[in-house]
Chains A and B, each alone.
Chain A
Amino acid sequence: MIRRLLLALALAVLAGPAVAQQRTDGAADLPAAVAEEQITVSSDYRGSFITVFGVNPDRRGRGDVVVVLRGPNEPATVLRKRRVFGLYVNGDPVRFSRAPSFFAVMSTRPLRSIASPQSIWRYRLDPAASAELASAVPGGADPSAYRAALVRLRRAQGLYQEHTGRPTAEERSGLTTYRGGLFRAVVRLPANAPIAEYSADAYVFREGRLISSQEIPITISRVGFERRIHDLATQWPFLYGLFVVLVALGAGWIAAFIFRRS
């Protein structure tokens, strides 16, 4: 008995760091994969679709599946339009230290009926729960109004998405479940979504409790000409700026030359 306890303790200690790395502490790994492990962006890029497959460990397919595609967290500021001398100007800034640059959540049923509000916040299952306020809200304003504004504005840009149930003819994003616990989530990544490392996270909830989860990294990267320009701009920014100015002078000179002859 004591030996068993010691063994369990040792395992827990060994597993400690690994568990800490995952948000989904205690839950078993969910078998899941992404169809497109690498997405490339070239000059004709118009956005893409990402497909996440997985199997619900419950053989009878009980429970609810939630799939979240997350872009990297970045700071953001939300300003409110104030009225000064009859003019509307931006003011009262509220800073978010981290807000997902992209966030799409697909679930079999509405999120609120799958997981408790505590679970939604704990596992950051909706975009509002993923944004962290960094500064106090000025003048007794409602912080949730700023949070809601962040979500609303990003949703209007197609950067925050929420889909319930299977895809339809008009909406290709959604989550479909099949017999034997197989599920497939499809999400449209719009062309204005940042080029970065994404994470596709799949969760299975039963009776409001997380029973299994998995995180799959997805890399979106530039290729060819787009990549060369970006590398130049980030690795040699001063030379790149100088180069752009030279191109500008060249363009101006060529235009003047052509127009003088005609």
Chain B
Amino acid sequence: MIYLPIAEMPVNVLLVLLVSGAVGFVSGLVGVGGGFIMTPSLIFLGVPSPVAVATGASQIAATSFSGIMAQTRRKGVDWRMGLLLSTGGVLGSMVGVWLFERLLRLGQLDLLISFLYLFLLAGVGGMMLRESLAVMRGRQLKGVSVLKLPMRTIAHRLPLRLRFPRSGLYISVLPPLALGFGIGALAGIMGIGGGFVLIPAMIYLLRMPTNVVIGTSLFQVLVVSSLIVILQSAATQTVDLVLAALLMLGGVVGAQFGARVGAGLKNEHIRALLGLLLVAASLKFLADLVIPPAEQFVLVSGQ
């Protein structure tokens, strides 16, 4: 047990290491930041939710950076694409945070976030699972090629084309910028890094090869989560260094193991795993929404 100076509560050190290690493992394996698992886990451990969101982001920064280091050795990061996505992501997350405050004042925020979570997790997860299972069975899904064709033509016709040697693409910079912006806005509203939406979008919309998708999305996640830590620390002072250190320790070790295991897996297996994880998370989320709550009221301190 150690007392957290900002969260103002003691936590079990081993338990926190275990949770962050597990999240880090998943993060290194499939290349998502893991915010959509980390934040609810911390809240479940009793950490106040603003502290959980802001401090969880610092752990995501650490694991994504260690993931990037591992991916760089395998030439798995398209820096040019990552920079474009991050630029869009930074702008988008600022708009998202602004939208968050507006919706909060309108009083419909919780409803919107619930539906966004449910549809994104279930939709993206289901799609990935279906596609990767089809590939494993040895046949190409027709829907994917339909998706791919118009995107290519748009990307080719748009100005400001750029060569992305790592990804083997020659497309306009506008689709990645717009994608980064959209994901950033979603991330700002939902309080997550957005990696789990970004990865499938890079695979299915930008047609990037899966082996560079993970490293590149980690790069975008690193930039956005670092920004969240600094902004949250400056605005709300809810970043707990002691908790962050524990989460980082568990997270980076877990991420390294995850990246090792991931290197020995086929692309479609990784996609199937991520799809499975997202569908499972959406089911958990749906259960929370559908099962009648024992306590009708929810308390939010502060504001």
Q: Which residues 230-250 in A have Cβ within 8 Å of B in the complex?
A: 230, 233-234, 237-238, 240-245, 247-249
Query: Would you give the shortest CB distance from B2 to chain A, in whole angstroms?
Result: 5
CA A218 to CA B76, docked complex, whole Å: 57
Query: If the complex has contacts A88-B292, A248-B248, A249-B62, are A259 and B298 also in contact, measured as CB distance less than 8 A?
Result: no
Give B contacts to A, CB under 8 Å.
1-3, 5-6, 8-10, 46, 58-59, 61-70, 73, 107, 110-111, 114, 226, 229-235, 237, 239, 241-242, 244-245, 248-249, 252-253, 255-256, 260, 288-293, 295-303
B9, B61, B229, B298: the one within 8 Å of A78 (CB): B298
Determine which of B62, B296, B302 lies in contact with A74 in the assembled complex, contact meaning CB atoms within 8 Å: B302
Nearest opposing residue in chain B for A234, CB measure? B237
Docked pose: A221 CA to B237 CA in angstroms? 18
Contact B239 A192 (CB under 8 A): no
**Which one, A42, A154, A251, contacts B3 given CB within 8 A?**
A42
Interface Cβ pair total, 8 Å cutoff: 193
Q: Counting CB contacts under 8 A, is A153 at the interface?
A: yes
User: Can you offer 16 A-B residue contacts whose CB atoms are under 8 A?
Assistant: A44-B1, A87-B114, A88-B292, A89-B289, A90-B298, A91-B110, A93-B107, A192-B8, A193-B8, A233-B5, A233-B239, A237-B234, A237-B235, A237-B237, A244-B229, A248-B244
Shortest distance in angstroms between B286's beta carbon and chain A's nearest beta carbon? 8
Taking a contact as CB atoms under 8 Å apart, the answer to whether B237 and A226 are in contact is no
Cβ-defined partner of A86 (8 Å) among B62, B110, B249, B290 = B290
- CB of B58 within 8 A of CB of A244, answer yes
A97–chain B nearest beta-carbon distance, Å:
11
- Interface residue SS majority, chain B: helix
Residues of A within 8 A of B3 (CB): 41-46, 191, 226
Contacts of A46 in B (CB 8 A): 1, 3, 10
Q: Which of A78, A87, A91, A229 contacts B299 (CB 8 A)?
A: A78
The answer to whether the Cβ of A139 comes within 8 Å of any Cβ in the partner chain is no
Q: B295 to A248, Cβ gap below 8 A?
A: no
Do B233 and A238 have beta carbons less than 8 Å apart?
Answer: yes
The yes or no answer to A252 lying at the interface (CB within 8 A) is yes
- Choose one: A86, A192, A226, A252; the contact of B46 (CB below 8 Å): A192
Q: Provide the residues of chain B in CB contact with A77, threshold 8 Å.
A: 299-300, 303
A149: which of B70, B288, B299 is its contact (CB, 8 Å)? B299
A80 to B300, CA, bound (A): 11
In the complex, which residues of chain A have a beta carbon less than 8 angstroms from the beta carbon of B10?
A: 45-46, 191
Tell me the A32-55 residues at the B interface (CB within 8 Å).
41-46
A182 within 8 A of B: no
| Per-residue interface assignment for chain A, residues 133 to 177, with 1 indicating a CB less than 8 Å from any chain B CB and 0 otherwise | 000000000000110011011100000000000000000000000
B-side contacts of A95, CB under 8 Å: 303
A193 contacts which chain B residues (CB < 8 A)? 8
Q: Are B70 and A256 in contact (CB under 8 A)?
A: yes
For B245, the chain A residues whose CB sits under 8 A away are 247, 251
* CA distance in complex: A233, B55 (Å): 12
Chain A residue nearest in CB terms to B249: A251
A256 touches B107 (CB 8 A): no
Q: In whole angstroms, how far apart are the Cα atoms of A63 and B216 in the complex?
A: 73
Of A154, A233, A238, which contacts B241 at CB under 8 A?
Answer: A233
| B301 and A230 contact, CB distance less than 8 A | no
B73–A248 contact, CB under 8 A?
no
Contact, CB under 8 Å: A244 / B70: no
CB distance from B7 to the nearest CB of A (A): 9
> Which residues of A in the span 202-247 have a Cβ within 8 Å of any Cβ on B?
222, 225-227, 229-230, 233-234, 237-238, 240-245, 247
* Cβ A192 vs Cβ B63 within 8 A: no
With most chain B CB atoms within 10 A of its CB, the pick from A77, A193, A248, A251 is A248
Query: Is A57 among interface residues, defined by CB-CB distance under 8 A?
Result: no
Evaluate contact between B111 and A252: CB separation under 8 angstroms: no
| Chain B residue contacts of A259, Cβ below 8 A | 70, 256, 260
Q: Given the complex of chains A and B, what is the CA–CA distance between A46 and B8 in angstroms? A: 11
Query: Is B241 within 8 A of A247, CB to CB?
Result: yes
Contact B66 A253 (CB under 8 A): yes
A10 within 8 A of B: no
A191 to B298, CA, bound (A): 22
